[in-house]
């Protein structure tokens, strides 16, 4: 993730970061701290520090929790943003050969946790609904089965996504209008004008220097959204259309 910060604020930003770092290293009593919970707009980022302006107009330098603990980043992404190595969760109907019956329209990019189950598991609710069907067991077995799938992307090409879900390798066609939800514990996706909900503390009298205990960042933009081409301008740049009457006059 590239470093970014408004040019006019670089000098003051670095100075405040240094002060925040020194203050954080000083041995001060708990009584000298004040808790803070605020919502802010992110205006810059350098290393583990975010430069923010909160709803009250206070400029703050926020030091992120160590090792991304307590950090969540949520947003939406365009399908072309998906990359190998990302952990994804999705639902799809698969036939006996493990082939999806239709393009995937809903994908979640997530971070691993203790509750994450890597693999492809039959959807118990969908499977239970077929038990009371009048169709023969043979016909039911031939129909695609709904699965919940979690695994790492191993390849993206020509609208097709390969996912390694445990020991099972699967391939899916991704719909052009697929919804890609992002919910990860990684602040490196942060962009200018994203919104942050910050919980943490600061030393009394220094509300501009905040140590975050937890921070939730919500994206203000669609990640990987293609840039729209500007419309052709009228006038000198517009294509010349010859008047048919000119040919008639010749």
Would you state the pLDDT for residue 218?
97
Would you state the pLDDT for residue 227?
77
Coil, helix or strand at residue 209: strand
Give the pLDDT band of residue 240 (cuts 50, 70, 90): very low
Would you state the pLDDT for residue 162?
97
d(CA 139, CA 143): 7
Calculate mean pLDDT across residues 136-147: 71
Closest CA to 72 of 173, 148, 185: 185
DSSP, res 118: -
pLDDT tens profile 201-236: 999 999 999 999 999 999 999 999 887 766 655 554
Domains annotated on the chain, with CATH: 7-70+189-218 (2.40.50.140), 76-184 (no CATH)
Compute how many other C-beta atoms are within 10 angstroms of the C-beta atom of residue 218. 14
Share of the chain above pLDDT 90, in %: 61
Q: Cα 87 to chain center, whole Å?
A: 12
pLDDT tens profile 102-117: 999 999 999 998 899 9
Structure tokens, 202: 């600061």
Q: What is the mean pLDDT of the chain?
A: 82
Please calculate the CA angle 7-8-12 and round it to the nearest 5 degrees: 105
């Amino acid at each position: 993730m590239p470093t970014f910060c408004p040019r006019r604020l670089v000098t003051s930003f670095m100075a405040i970061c240094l002060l925040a770092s020194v203050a954080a290293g000083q041995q001060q009593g708990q009584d000298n701290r004040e808790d803070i919970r605020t919502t802010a707009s992110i205006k810059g980022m350098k290393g583990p520090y975010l430069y923010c302006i909160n709803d009250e107009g206070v400029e703050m330098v926020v030091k992120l929790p160590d090792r991304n603990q307590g950090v969540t980043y949520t947003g939406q992404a365009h399908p072309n943003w998906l990359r190998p190595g990302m952990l994804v969760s999705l639902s799809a109907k698969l036939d006996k050969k493990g082939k999806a019956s239709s393009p995937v329209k809903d994908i979640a990019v997530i971070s691993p946790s203790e509750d994450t189950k890597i693999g492809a598991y039959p959807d118990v609710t969908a499977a239970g609904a077929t038990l009371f069907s009048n169709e023969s067991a043979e016909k039911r077995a031939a129909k695609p089965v709904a699965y919940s799938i979690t695994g790492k992307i191993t390849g993206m090409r020509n609208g097709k996504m390969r996912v390694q879900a445990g020991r099972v390798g699967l391939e899916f066609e991704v719909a052009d209008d697929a919804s890609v939800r992002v919910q990860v514990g990684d602040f490196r996706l942060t962009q200018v004008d994203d919104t942050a909900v910050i919980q943490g503390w600061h030393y009394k009298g220094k509300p501009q220097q905040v140590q975050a205990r937890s921070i939730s960042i919500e994206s203000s933009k669609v990640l990987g959204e293609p840039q729209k081409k500007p419309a052709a301008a009228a006038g000198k740049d517009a294509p010349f259309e010859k008047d048919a009457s000119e040919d008639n006059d010749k």
